[in-house]
Amino acid sequence: MKKCDVIWTDTAKKDLNDIIEYIAQDTIEIAIQKYEKIKGITRQLVLFPDQGRIIPELLKHNITKYKELIISPWRLIYKVDNNIVYIMAVIDGRRNIEDILLQRLLR
What are the average pLDDT values for consecutive 10-residue runs of the chain, which has 107 residues?
A: 91 95 95 96 94 90 92 94 94 78 65
Within 10 angstroms of residue 38's Cβ, the number of other Cβ atoms is: 20
pTM metric for this prediction: 0.86
- For residue 68, the model assigns a pLDDT of 96
Q: Torsion angle of alpha carbons 106, 53, 67, 102, nearest 10°?
A: 10
Number of domains in the chain: 1
CATH of residue 95's domain is 3.30.2310.20
Q: What confidence score (pLDDT) does residue 98 get?
A: 72
Q: Give the integer Cα–Cα distance in Å for 21 and 103.
A: 24
First to last CA, the chain: 35
Range of the domain at 92: 5-105
